[in-house]
Structures are given as structure tokens and as C-alpha cells.
Amino acid sequence: MGRLFGTDGVRGIANSELTPELAFKLGKASGYVLGKKNEKERPVFIIGKDTRISGDMLEDAISAGLMATGVNVIKVGVLPTPAIAHLVREYGADAGIIISASHNSFEYSGIKFFGCEGFKLDDDFEDQVETILLRDIDVNSHITGERIGKCLDADDEAELRYAGFLESTIDTAVRDTKIVVDCANGAASKVAKTVFDNLGVELILINSNPNGLNINEKCGSTHPEQLQKEVVEQGAAMGFAYDGDGDRVIAVDEKGRIVDGDKIMCICADMMIARNELPEKCVTATEMSNAGFFKHMKEKECTVDVTQVGDRYVLEKMLETGCMLGGEQSGHVIFLNHATTGDGILTSLQFMQAVKLSGKTASQLSDEIKIYPQVLKNARVREENKGNFTKDAEIMNRIEEIRNELGESGKVFVRPSGTESLVRVMIEGEDTEVITGYAQELTRLITKRFS
């Protein structure tokens, strides 16, 4: 067994890599580690899940592990990842767990942990849990009788509490705004309707009928083509596409054009600056962000803190600096004045508010930000080889040659995926045909070496 925790929890194919046996052990180990830190006799964990068919199986398995160490469990059912981060604080729980594999297809699943303050648990927690599992340490003291944990009844208003929180994050009327929302047949399918209906939005929902197998299937934030078409056909003001666990969003303007995370951050930063909601005029982004994003921020006299790819690293930097807005091109956007993690619905509301306050259309705001062409290609490799390209002299030399050929007008970024057996190749430059050729070349080379 190798390292369990990736950049975003424990993930794998459900019942093959992420088995109920592993989930049970994760429950025991996490209950033991967090239980040691808590003076309460009876720690409480909240557990939520997305719409995958494997969710029930893994939920029951990890719950059993937790209860075996004396932890009480509250199951809140199908809710987005950011809902669990919010409800941990709302209920005063000791920790939260979301069972989801985000944008991955239905056969995958994952387990992600939040602490009592709603932030993802840190490396120290992950290291302690991994040590217990990898060394096969039995932390179960075989408690009996009244000390065994139990499953508490979930508050029927868990979803409504979360929806009410989301509605409270904007103070601008959006009633009668016509929007299309693609829920990816995932965790946001029900609560998104509740929120937008309560706000009086003219809502058209697509891909909001999960059956356990259709989550992220040619829909959602990684496949926004259907949303783009629907926005234009319906004459909507804008559209939003979430991923399976609802923590990211890709927007679409009224012309059916993509507004990615970089543009969303620019538009929302402009609004926050105007409303004095962005202390020190600073945002946090990753090294994948487009040159056009940095140019726009500079024109607004707004500084940018840059981190490595991953919303956890964005959040870490934001907490360090006190920055209120940060995110990724992929649509993970964090409004730290409202939430402790990326939230697709919350970001949609902030974007709608920004458009309303500007007096312009979504396309007019989007056109104010010049984005340079980028090409992203994936090289499929064996899982154990994801990071080995950095040790290959030919690959690294070619990456450096391409950087020199592109000069200051381009960027080459190659990294292992945190969630899949892929190496991601992103190249940015002025000529789409040229950078596409470079990306294809590097992808072929990496696949040939490490597949």
C-alpha cells in the first residue's frame, strides 16, 4: 500500500481501490486521531456524500469504523462538499467527511475530511492516519456497551440551513434573472434549485436527475458544451456548470461563451474592490492562471499571490496573508469572507451579483479581460510513474527548449494530476496552432516513456 492521501483526500475506484474495508479502517483511524485531540467524551462527525452508487456502501463502512472508536455520526445525506464544511461549524461538530470523487466518473469515489472550523484537515492529520493504516496498527480498543458510538438523527433542516447561508451571501436583487444551471447529476442537484427558487431567479435546470451512474457524464464543469447551447437557445442571461461535488463552477455568458475561473475571479475582484471588500487589493491564484488574468489584476492595481496548483494550497496562502479572494482556473473559487472552501453555488451568486451591480452583460464584463490562448493535454501514464517525468533528461530538456522558443509571450506547465493517472501538459502562447503542436509533442513523449 502506497501513500493514501492525494492532494484532495483518499480516492480510487470504489470497491476495488477504495474498498469498504479501507473506509472502515479510515473511520477507525480518523476517529482515534481526532478523538485524542478532543476533550469531549463523545466526538461527533458529520458525513455527507454525492450521488454515486457507491456512496451508501462507503458511508456505512466509514460510519462503522468511527462508531467502533466511540464517535457519534450524523449522516446528512446528499449535499455538496462545501455544505459539509459549513455544517461542521453550524452543528458544532468535531469533524466532517464528504464521500465524493469530485469531477471523476461514477466508478470512482473519495473520502475527504474537514476539521471543526470547516477547513480541510492538515498534513499532520493525514500523516497520523496514514501511519496507523500503513503499519496496520489496531487503534480499536474494543470498547463495549454504552461507549460504542451511535448514528444520530440528522436535522431535517440541514439542506435548508445550507441554502439559507448561501442566500445570505448576496445583498443584490437577482429576481427574474434568467439562468441555466448544469448540476452534473451530482450533489448540487437539489440544493441549487432550492437556493435559486428562493431568490426568485428564472431557473432552467439541466442534468439534475442523478441515478447513481450519470454523475459528470458528458456534463458539468468539465463538459459545459450542453450548457453553452442551452443558454443561447433559452435566451438566458448566463449559465453555470458545477462538478459532481459542487465545489467548483464554470460560467457561460449570454452568448454561450465560457467564463472560466480566472475570469470569474477578475469580475468578482472588480466588484469587491468597488465595495471595499478586498483588503490590501490582493487575490490568490495558481501558477496555471492565464497571463491575461495577471494583466487584468495589474491594471486594477491588485497584487496576486501565486501558489502551486490545488485549492488547498490557495487556501493555505489566503489564511497566511488574510486575502479574501482566491482560486483556480478550473473554477475552484474561495470567498474567505463567506466560506472556508470553494463553493460552486456561492460563486455563482457572487458572479450574478457582480453582473447586476455593473449594469453590463456577462459578455461585456468577460470581454474586458483578454485571455491568451492555452492548450491543455493529458498524458496517460501508470500511477506510480506520474512524477517520474521530472527525472527524464530528454523530457526536461525539451520543456526548457519550448519555453525558450515561446519567450516571454508563453508559458509551459507540466504537472502530475492529483486525482488521476495522468500528467497534465499546459502551454500558453499567442499562436494556438503552435502551442497545440508543442502540447501534443510533450504528451506523446511522456506517454511513450511512462505508460
Active site residues: 102
**Amino acid identity for residue 242 in this structure:** Y
Nearest Cα residue to 336 out of 404, 260, 280: 280
Nearest Cα residue to 269 out of 191, 340, 192, 354: 354
Instruction: Tell me how far apart the alpha carbons of residues 394 and 48 are, in angstroms, rounded to a whole number.
Output: 46
Q: How many angstroms from the chain centroid is the CA of residue 90?
A: 21
Question: Three-state DSSP class for 9?
Answer: strand
Instruction: Tell me how far apart the alpha carbons of residues 247 and 98 are, in angstroms, rounded to a whole number.
Output: 12
104, 76 in Cβ contact below 8 A? no
Nearest Cα residue to 83 out of 149, 154, 182, 170: 154
What is the maximum alpha-carbon separation in the chain?
A: 70
52, 101 in Cβ contact below 8 A? yes
Instruction: Tell me how far apart the alpha carbons of residues 62 and 212 are, in angstroms, rounded to a whole number.
Output: 19
188, 166 in Cβ contact below 8 A? no
**What separation, in Å, do the N-terminal and C-terminal C-alpha atoms of the chain show?**
20
In degrees and rounded to multiples of 5, residue 206 shows phi and psi of -130, 155
> What letter would DSSP give residue 51?
S
Q: How many angstroms from the chain centroid is the CA of residue 214?
A: 19
Q: Which burial class, exposed, middle or buried, applies to 202 when counting CB atoms under 10 A from its CB (0-12, 13-18, 19+)?
A: middle
Instruction: Tell me how far apart the alpha carbons of residues 393 and 399 are, in angstroms, rounded to a whole number.
Output: 10
Instruction: Tell me how far apart the alpha carbons of residues 97 and 66 are, in angstroms, rounded to a whole number.
Output: 11
Sign of CA pseudo-dihedral 269, 272, 273, 279: negative
Q: Which burial class, exposed, middle or buried, applies to 409 when counting CB atoms under 10 A from its CB (0-12, 13-18, 19+)?
A: exposed
217, 182 in Cβ contact below 8 A? no
Instruction: Tell me how far apart the alpha carbons of residues 240 and 255 are, in angstroms, rounded to a whole number.
Output: 13
353, 237 in Cβ contact below 8 A? no
Nearest Cα residue to 414 out of 442, 436, 435: 442
